[in-house]
Amino acid sequence: MSIESLIVYFDYKSPYAYLAKDDARGLAASFGLPLDWRPYTLEIPQFLGAVETRNPHQWRRVKYSYMDARRIANERGLIVYGPKKIFDSRLSHIGALYAAAEGVFDAYHDQVFARFFKRDLDIEDEDALIAVLESCGAANPSGFPDYAAGKGAGQYRQILAEAENLGVFGVPTFVVGEEIFWG
């Protein structure tokens, strides 16, 4: 079997996907594979409960996850603050698709992750995402809203459907050939 790329599913609100970003790049480089980054929006309330209805067990899981992520981030000189709410990352994910089309994916990807976990970027704010695209050197950042409402939304839905068919359930998820690896 020939492996053409390393597929990596990510969500900008996942600290573990953020921490796996550079390792994924290293892994792909070590095998001479191109990286195929694909957004996958986690529905946090489905597995960790809605903030207002979480039980003590769910709160322990959330607190531990951020403590663990901060531990790893500190070793790497990164900042990981827990968000103040459960964000809907769909728009930022469509922004990633647009950034790829504009040839600035890596810069966008790095900036969105880093700024989100510093609480310096609202990933639901279209104007903020346009500013990120602009700062990354996108040729037409003002074209993002139309893309997000049209072609980008369709592409995003297609990627999610493919992920579900593959069995993706969380991030980061790596797809190598026919196999998926989570975490």
How deeply is 163 buried, as exposed, middle or buried, from its count of CB atoms within 10 A (0-12, 13-18, 19+)? buried
pLDDT of residue 64: 86
Residues 6+ apart with CB under 8 A from 161: none
Residue with tokens 């322990």: 60
- In total, the chain counts a number of residues equal to 183
More confident residue, 70 or 58: 70
| Tens-place pLDDT, residues 31-59 | 999 999 999 998 755 655 566 676 777 76
pTM of the model: 0.91
Instruction: Specify the 3-state DSSP secondary structure of 126.
Output: helix
CB 11 within 8 A of CB 40: yes
| Tens-place pLDDT, residues 145-168 | 999 999 999 999 999 999 999 999
CB 11 within 8 A of CB 44: no
Running DSSP on this structure, what letter comes out for residue 77? Answer: T
More confident residue, 61 or 28: 28
Residues 6+ apart with CB under 8 A from 27: 6, 174
| Tens-place pLDDT, residues 71-114 | 999 999 999 998 888 899 999 999 999 999 999 999 999 999 99
**What are residue 174's phi and psi, to 5 degrees?**
-110, 135
pLDDT of residue 139: 97
CB 81 within 8 A of CB 117: yes
State which amino acid sits at residue 16.
Y
Token pair for 116:
């989100």
